[in-house]
Structure 1
Amino acid sequence: MEPNVGLAPEHRERLRAAGADVDAVDAQTWTRVRDGVPTWWHDCDNALYLADGALLPPKVLEQLTLFPVRDVVVAVGSALRSIASLLVGGDGATVFVDAGCELTAGEVYCGGGSSIVLHGPLVATRCAVVDARNGGSVVALPEQLWAADVYVATDDMHRLEDRATGERLNPFGASIRLGRHVWLCKDAVVTGHADVGDGAVVGMRAVVRGQKVPAHSVVAGTPARVVRDDVAWSYDDRP
């Protein structure tokens, strides 16, 4: 890596505009990665930053820089030793992974003109998928707990339309916001324009699709509906 020069001001602004808390961004010391990154990556105005103590496995770094893209900003603040993939699929992608994020066997994909912002602490126990594309955005505030096989996606990647009108029926590049202290249970799905409120719980195999989940509620089912409100959940499993 080159000597520490910190985030370029325009890249800090990119992260802020994508929904990153600037205090969280500024709390870390960033180094722009030069070694192990192809020359074309820099020539095309892409930037990868790692904070002190952060890392990407060599295979993940190789995949990240495999396909030609332009104007991409990726800032990783955690030691993502167990992540399966971090990919960008087009120009202008923006990714911020804060300190305190653990994505065991997780997959992160950010398409062109899209953004993903994951604040820490965030624990995804296994095989979480976070997918933003077609100009969509995902923002997760701190204190996330995701059980195995959680799926968070802004787009279905295929068009579904009304045959009579031609109107698209499924989401296209939607915005997803996960509030502070959210618990996504095993196999939970959050997709389309969705807003999950602070302290909420999305039950096992529930599907939140184009919905607003009230703060401090439990939702379950497909589509998700409120089954309990005014709840508080904790990491402790006690009577």
Structure 2
Amino acid sequence: MFAHGYEIRTSDMHPIYSLSSGERLNHGSSIKLGDHIWLGRDVTILKGVTLASNIVVGIRSIVTKSILKPNSVVLGTPASIVKENIVWGRKMYHKTAYDDLTLKEFIPSKE
């Protein structure tokens, strides 16, 4: 789920070259997103980043390095893990995770 205003950048948009060698210094790189990712409003993900599955990225965060720990909340500039062992659902209103059937596979049974 991606909120409004996100950016996913596989390059720096403009090349930077070494004056001594003429070699390009800032090559582009792929971005890999796991399953069940939630990007908050105005999030930026930069080149070379991999996000594990079930990650929530907080509003206006800039992800500069890979987040390989699934089930995490990350935020900040640069983004870092602030909460682990989470799951999230798309429904806006429910009292517990058990009320959201889309989370059934993630949440242990109450019984």
What TM-score does the superposition give when structure 1 sets the normalisation length? Answer: 0.35
Paired residues, what number? Answer: 92
Q: Which of 3, 14, 17 is the aligned partner of 1:158?
A: 14
Write out the 4+ residue segments of structure 1 that deviate beyond 3 Å after TM superposition: 160-167
Identical counterparts, % of pairs: 32
Match of 2:88 in 1: 233
Higher relative contact order, chain-length normalized (CA < 8 Å, sep 6+): 2
- Residue in structure 2 matching 1:212, options 57, 66, 70: 66
Say which of 168, 173, 194 aligns to 2:28: 173
After the TM superposition, which residues 1-239 of structure 1 pair with which residues of structure 2 at under 5 Å, given as runs?
145-160=1-16, 168=25, 170=26, 172-209=27-64, 211-213=65-67, 214-238=69-93, 239=95
Cα 1:164/1:207, change in 2 over 3 Å:
farther
Change (3 A) 1:160 1:228: farther
Matched to 1:151, the amino acid is E
SS at match of 2:31: strand
Structure 1 residues 177 and 216: alpha-carbon distance in aligned structure 2, compared to 1, 3 A threshold: same
Distance 1:162 1:198, change over 3 A: same
Q: Which amino acid aligns with 1:182?
A: I
Distance 1:163 1:230, change over 3 A: farther
Match of 1:81 in 2: none
Compared CA separation, residues 181 and 159, structure 1 to 2 (3 A): same
RMSD over aligned Cα, in angstroms?
2.0
Higher strand content, 1 or 2: 1
- CA shift for structure 1 position 147: 0.1
Following superposition, the deviation at residue 173 of structure 1 comes to 2.1
Contact 2:54 2:70 in 1 (8 A): yes
